[in-house]
Every structure is written in structure tokens, then in C-alpha cells.
């Protein structure tokens, strides 16, 4: 349905939100909920909010007098440069809309005429050793061979789980903070999370059919080995018994990382007692768990525009987002 919205339709929605008295963060969040991948960027929302506030009525493109501009002529190149001087985080789509040429032409101007590159702010928590890289390769190859042998039956038995902090405010994602810069210039600095931001620990478990457990850890509670065992025993296993009784009979394959709480003796002993298999997950391998490469980033992206000082409000909002995202797994 969202694909049928033209840019004029989207602008009309933003105008309606503006007339309702809504601010850009709320407008952006609502548009994402309704339009999904087709929603405009937050910068575009702020741009049109500013235009409406300045008195603009029309949602149509401005008329351009004179002959059509050649996509990469000097006038267009200069205009792109001026827009980037004002904000180097503009996307190709935003530049194309402002200048009146195609996205491909903008990309050509940026890379071939202005000789710019999109540089990301990047956190590098660990540099892997040769042995760690080999462990990742071996584990990934093993999982792939097993999938070829067992097919969907293998995937249907996997229960992925992990815990993560959910904040009431987060700085931009790496992609959002990317800037167009000369090839040899240093990467831009990334904002750190503001002090005092409300945060809640969430523990999530889900399988190929959807959510199994969405647990908000009480404030002040540490997820150590004893608490993780309690979650497995008192929350996850009953949830599987209720929602996927056949899964317990076919033997669960648990996919969680090698965090200290997950490797405690009492946890390992409990899983062995139940006959649950623990899928190999080498250290520092966020691309091997759907919690890390799919669920958590997706939910946190939507929470970036959410600002709350009440832990109960943040908890309820996060629970709804986690539940919504796991429906499409």
C-alpha cells in the first residue's frame, strides 16, 4: 500500500501533521509507522516542516523557468556543492529532489565531478585476531552445511535470544551520521549518548514464527548467570510450551552469544538437562545472530525519535516495537 504514495501524497501527509500542531520527531515517527521503507527521511520531514512554518501552501515542486538543466552541467554541480556546504549529511535522494535531477545524476556529480565519498562514523569495538576470524569462518561454514543437509527443519528449531539496552534517546545511526567528504579527509566524529538518558534492559527470544519471550528486566537487576537461568526456566521454557509445544518435542536449538551469563556453569548444566543444543557462536560475531543484525537495530532505529522520562512509558513502547518487528521474521 505504501508504494502507491507519490511524493506529493507524502508531502500532503506532512502538511496535515503540521496543521495538527505536531513537531518533526512525532511526524517522522508516525510516517515511518504508516509508510515503512517508503517514509521520507527525518531531514526531509524537518525541511517541509520549516517550509510550512514559513507559509508555504503548495506540496508541488517549484516551477523551474528556462530551459531544462543538463543533469551534470556547472549550474547543477554548483547547486549540489552549495547544498552540501549547508549540510553534508544530505542523501542523494534529497539532493536530487532539491536540484531537480535524477538520483543517478546526483551520485555522478558527487563521485566524479566533486570527487567525494560518503564517510561513516564507525565504532570498532574489537579487532579480530587471525584465530578469531578462522573460528567465525569454521562456524559459518558448519551452519551452512547443516542447513543444506537438514533444510527448513534446522531453521525451524532455532530459538534466537539475547539481551540489549533500550534507551529513551540515542544518537544517530552510522548511516544517518554519514557525510559527503573528500576522499582523504578523516571520518566525522559521532555524538555520544547524552548522560541521564532513560534505559531499560530487554531480553528477547524468538524463532522463525515470531516472538516467544519479550521480557523487560526490572530496573536495578543485573542479568548474571543466576538471573539468566531464571529467565530460561521460569519465562522462556513455559512460553515455548504454551506457544510452540512441538518445538520442545523436536529439541530446541538455542542461538545466543558467548556473554559471561550465557556460559555460566548453572546455565550450561540446565540446558544439558533439557537436551537443548547450543548453536556455535564465536566471540564478536554480531552478523551470526538475528538479534544483532536484524531485531535490535530495527527496533532501536524506531526508538531514536522517541523521548520519554518515564521508564514505564519507554518499557511499553519498546515492548510494542519488539512485538511488531518479530511478526515479519
Amino acid 123: pLDDT = 46
Amino acid 92: pLDDT = 81
Nearest CA to 177 out of 272, 304, 282, 61 is that of: 304
Nearest CA to 164 out of 291, 23, 72, 313 is that of: 291
Locate 166 and state its grid cell. 533500550
CB 244 within 8 A of CB 209: yes
In words, the CATH class of domain 74-114 is: mainly alpha
DSSP helix/strand/coil, 53: helix
CATH number of the 2-53 domain: 1.10.10
CA distances from 104 to 43, 55, 299 (A): 20, 32, 30
CATH 3.30.420.10 spans which residues of the chain? 130-326
Q: Which CATH architecture has domain 130-326?
A: 2-Layer Sandwich (3.30)
Locate 75 and state its grid cell. 549550474
Nearest CA to 255 out of 136, 129, 143 is that of: 143
Amino acid 160: pLDDT = 92
Locate 103 and state its grid cell. 538520483
Sheet containing 277-278: which strands, arranged edge to edge? 210-216, 199-207, 158-167, 253-255, 277-278
CB 167 within 8 A of CB 175: no
Round to whole Å and give the CA distance between 305 and 309: 13
Amino acid 173: pLDDT = 53
CA distances from 195 to 139, 167, 201, 221 (A): 38, 11, 17, 20
Give tens-digit pLDDT for 91-134.
Answer: 787 788 888 888 778 888 888 888 887 765 544 445 677 888 88
Amino acid 41: pLDDT = 85
CB 102 within 8 A of CB 96: yes
Round to whole Å and give the CA distance between 23 and 46: 9
Q: What is the mean pLDDT of each run of 10 residues along the chain (329 residues)?
A: 68 90 89 82 87 84 53 80 77 81 83 77 59 87 93 92 74 55 60 53 88 87 93 96 90 91 94 94 80 73 54 54 51
CB 163 within 8 A of CB 201: yes
Amino acid 273: pLDDT = 95
Determine how many CB atoms are found less than 10 A away from the CB of residue 105.
20
CATH 1.10.10 spans which residues of the chain? 2-53, 74-114
Amino acid at each position: 500500500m505504501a508504494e502507491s504514495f507519490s511524493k506529493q501524497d507524502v508531502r500532503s501527509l506532512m502538511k496535515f501533521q503540521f496543521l495538527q500542531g505536531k513537531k518533526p520527531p512525532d511526524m517522522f515517527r508516525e510516517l515511518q509507522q504508516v509508510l515503512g521503507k517508503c517514509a521520507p527521511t527525518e531531514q526531509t520531514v524537518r525541511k517541509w516542516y520549516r517550509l510550512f512554518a514559513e507559509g508555504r501552501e503548495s506540496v508541488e515542486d517549484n516551477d523551474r523557468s528556462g530551459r531544462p538543466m543538463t543533469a551534470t552541467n556547472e549550474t547543477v554541480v554548483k547547486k549540489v556543492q552549495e547544498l552540501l556546504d549547508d549540510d553534508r549529511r544530505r542523501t542523494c535522494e534529497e539532493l536530487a529532489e532539491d536540484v531537480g535531477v535524477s538520483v543517478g545524476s546526483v551520485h555522478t556529480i558527487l563521485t566524479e565531478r566533486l570527487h567525494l565519498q560518503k564517510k561513516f562514523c564507525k565504532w570498532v569495538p574489537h579487532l579480530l585476531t587471525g584465530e578469531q576470524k578462522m573460528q567465525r569462518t569454521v562456524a559459518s561454514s558448519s551452519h551452512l552445511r547443516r542447513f543444506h543437509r537438514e533444510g527448513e527443519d534446522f531453521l525451524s528449531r532455532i530459538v534466537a535470544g539475547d539481551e540489549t539496552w533500550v534507551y529513551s534517546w540515542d544518537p544517530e545511526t552510522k548511516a544517518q551520521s554519514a557525510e559527503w567528504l573528500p576522499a582523504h579527509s578523516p571520518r566525522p566524529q559521532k555524538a555520544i549518548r547524552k548522560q541521564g538518558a532513560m534505559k531499560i534492559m530487554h531480553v528477547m527470544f524468538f524463532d522463525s514464527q515470531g516472538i516467544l519471550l519479550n521480557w523487560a528486566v526490572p530496573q536495578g537487576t543485573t542479568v548474571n548467570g543466576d538471573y539468566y537461568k531464571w529467565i530460561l526456566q521460569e519465562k522462556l521454557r513455559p512460553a515455548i510450551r504454551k506457544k510452540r509445544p512441538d518445538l520442545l518435542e523436536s529439541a530446541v536449538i538455542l542461538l545466543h552469544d558467548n556473554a559471561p551469563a550465557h556460559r555460566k556453569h548453572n546455565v550450561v548444566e540446565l540446558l544439558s538437562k533439557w537436551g537443548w543444543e547450543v548453536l556455535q557462536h564465536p566471540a564478536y560475531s554480531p552478523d551470526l545472530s538475528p538479534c544483532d543484525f536484524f531485531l535490535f537495530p530495527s527496533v532501536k532505529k524506531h526508538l531514536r525519535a522517541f523521548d520519554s522520562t518515564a521508564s514505564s512509558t519507554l518499557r511499553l513502547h519498546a515492548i510494542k516495537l519488539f512485538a511488531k518487528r518479530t511478526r515479519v521474521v
